[in-house]
Amino acid sequence: MSYVLAKSKDDDILSAGECGGAITSILKYLLDEKLVDGIFALRPFDDIYDAMPVFITDSEDLISTAGSYHCAPTMIGDIIERFIDDDTKIAVTVKPCDMRAMHELVIRHRINDDNVYFIGLNCGGTVSPVSGRKMIDLFYEADPNDVVSEEIDKGKFIIELADGGEEAVKIHDLEAEGYGRRNNCQRCDVKIPRMADIACGNWGAEDGWTFIEINSEKGQKLVDGAKKVGILETKTPNDAAVEGRSKVENIMIKMAKKNQDATYPLVSEMDEWSRCIGCYACRDICPVCWCFENCELNKSYFKDGTNMPPSPIAFQGVRLSHMSFSCCDCGQCEDVCPMDIPVSLIFDKLQKKYYERTGYVAGVSEDIKPPLYSPEKTEL
Ligand code: FAD
């Protein structure tokens, strides 16, 4: 592992980028040098709350993807797993939970990591797009429609308005009132995606620069290559910057563990599961669940010979026993549950129990493998 501070030498990318525009520059290098066929990143559509995944094949289009979208808890791994074949070379921007899900899919031979550049973003947390709008309406003297950009800095959620004004509220104050980061983000203790080839962030970075942690040989080649073609400049961060970054990461992890201690005892699986209507939404949105055609939950013995969904206990119990050890706590199952079951809190709590017994951290551990059989793609 090594560290660099990096900054784009392209003025348009530098001004559009969240920090130093290093990621957009590296992605441009990959496309221009034909090292990849395409890039998965995010692009805002109607407004800043609805950034969605896009597949970019022309580097001219990359500028529209630059920036950090905190109200986009989007996951890209399952899109790659379903729609990108093993021979297509791609790069993808990933926050930690997205990287963890993809790592789980790599272990299951569903993503060929030889052909993927993982470009990691450190992540202090995402905000739900719906509650994000509501929160701006309630806590900021602003119309959510007038917000042109948002950022999270020094513990504050900051919005910039169309008239140039800026407003900031402490995330702690928003969360005390039930707003701010999504529940799963508040308890997430993986803030830097070290499984990615590079992990980029603003922690430890000077203004206008991106702090990059280089985690693989591939990552080193990316930075060196982008420098060589003249789109990126780099310098070595000083010890204080490296220490400062590590300090903030540790504070964030401590806060997450405090949240885990406070929230895990609040859920009792059986009480929550009794509300399950077997709609399959949690299974279908899970970025790690992949064997839909062969899914146990489609089998008749779980449906008592009828076409009805499995009973609540069978449905949730099967999912839990198949997936909880691999849960990357992205929170999407909870977002889509029509019965407000805290699915991801339950799964994450079980993942942590599994970790205590085996040392396995979903989507992070390399030496220990998850327990379920992972067939080669061709065997299915
Ligand atoms: P840019 O050149 O602006 O490129 C950013 C790339 O990331 C673009 O391709 C963009 O489409 C893609 N992207 C944007 N949002 C997302 C998303 N939600 N999911 C996947 N891809 C996305 N850094 C820290 O050090 N500490 C933090 O606490 C922290 N929290 C973050 C929280 C979120 C939700 C996000 C998205 C980023 C966070 N970052 C954090 C990373 C930081 O904001 C910058 O993204 C990073 O420094 C890279 O800057 P850049 O100028 O090089 O990137």
What residues flank ligand 1, with Cβ below 6 Å?
17-24, 41-42, 65-70, 72, 74, 93, 95, 121-124, 126, 152, 200-203, 210
Say if residue 238 is in the same domain as residue 281: no
Q: Are residues 37 and 137 in the same domain?
A: no
Q: Ligand 1 centre from 98 Cα, in Å? A: 13
Least confident of 1-10, 96-105, 131-140, 363-372: 363-372
CA of 203 to the centre of ligand 1 (A): 11
Mutate to test the pocket of ligand 1, among 121, 128, 192, 210 (most ligand atoms within 8 A of CB): 121
Q: Are residues 154 and 116 in the same domain?
A: no
pLDDT tens across 61-77, in order?
999 999 999 998 888 99
Same domain, 91 and 159: no
Compute the distance from residue 201 Cα to the ligand 1 centre, in Å: 7
Q: What spacing in Å lies between the alpha carbon of 217 and ligand 1's midpoint?
A: 22
What per-residue confidence (pLDDT) applies to 379?
47
Q: Among 4-8, 39-43, 247-251, 289-293, name the one with the lowest average pLDDT.
A: 289-293
Residues 37 and 89 in one domain: yes
Q: Which long-range contacts (CB under 8 A, 24 or more apart) does 28-34 make?
A: 28/59, 28/62, 28/231, 29/222, 29/225, 29/226, 29/229, 29/231, 29/232, 30/91, 30/117, 30/222, 31/56, 31/57, 31/58, 31/59, 31/62, 32/59, 32/229, 33/225, 33/229
In which residue are the tokens 């895990």 written?
264
Last residue of one domain, picked from the residues 139, 157, 180: 180
Question: To which residue do tokens 């099967």 refer?
Answer: 318
- pTM for the whole structure: 0.94
Task: Compute the average pLDDT of residues 318-324.
Answer: 90
Residue type, 53: P
Asked if residue 215 and residue 202 are part of one domain, the reply reads yes
Q: What is the pLDDT of residues 334-359, one digit of tens each?
A: 999 999 999 999 999 999 999 999 89
Instruction: Among 227-231, 258-262, 294-298, name the one with the lowest average pLDDT.
Output: 294-298
Mean pLDDT taken over the chain: 92
By the 10 Å C-beta count (0-12 exposed, 13-18 middle, 19+ buried), 307 is classed as: exposed
Q: Assign 380 a pLDDT band (cuts: 50, 70, 90).
A: very low
In this structure, the answer to whether residues 192 and 175 fall within a common structural domain is no
Band of residue 149 on the pLDDT scale cut at 50, 70, 90: confident
pLDDT at 241 over 90: yes
pLDDT-based confidence at residue 296 (cuts at 50, 70, 90): confident
Do 254 and 297 lie in one domain? The reply is: no
Q: Is there a single domain that holds both residue 144 and residue 279? A: no
**What's residue 89's pLDDT?**
97
Separation of CA 123 and ligand 1 centre (Å): 7
The DSSP call for residue 307 is S
pLDDT at 32 over 70: yes
Q: Are the CB atoms for 14 and 210 separated by under 8 Å?
A: no
Residue 330 has pLDDT above 50, yes or no: yes
To the nearest whole percent, how much of the chain has pLDDT over 70?
Answer: 97
Residues 166 and 309 in one domain: no
Number of H helices, E strands in the chain: 14, 11
The strand pairing partners of 158, in sequence order, are 151, 168
Mutational test site, ligand 1, from 4, 11, 14, 18, max ligand atoms within 8 Å of CB:
18
Give the distance (Å) from ligand 1 centre to CA of residue 339.
Answer: 32
The domain tally of the chain equals 3
- Residue 36 phi/psi, 5° resolution? -135, 160
Which of 180, 197, 219 is the endpoint of a domain?
180
The boundaries of the domain holding residue 196 are 2-123+188-261
User: Out of 189-198, 208-217, 265-274, which region has the weakest mean confidence (pLDDT)?
Assistant: 265-274
Please identify, by atom number, the ligand 1 atom nearest to the C-alpha of residue 151. 43
Place of tokens 């396995």: 360
CATH number at residue 175: 3.10.450
Same-domain pairing of 216 and 82: yes
pLDDT band for 54, please (50, 70, 90 cuts): very high
Sheet strand arrangement including 116-121: 52-56, 38-43, 90-94, 116-121, 198-201, 210-214, 2-8, 232-235
Position 239 pLDDT exceeds 70: yes
Atom of ligand 1 nearest to the CA of 62: 9
Contact 41, 65 (CB under 8 A): yes
Q: Note whether 249 and 108 are same-domain residues.
A: yes
CATH code of the domain in which 230 resides: 3.40.640
Coil, helix or strand at residue 92: strand
Q: What percent of the chain has pLDDT over 90?
A: 77
The Å distance, Cα 347 to ligand 1 centre, comes to 26
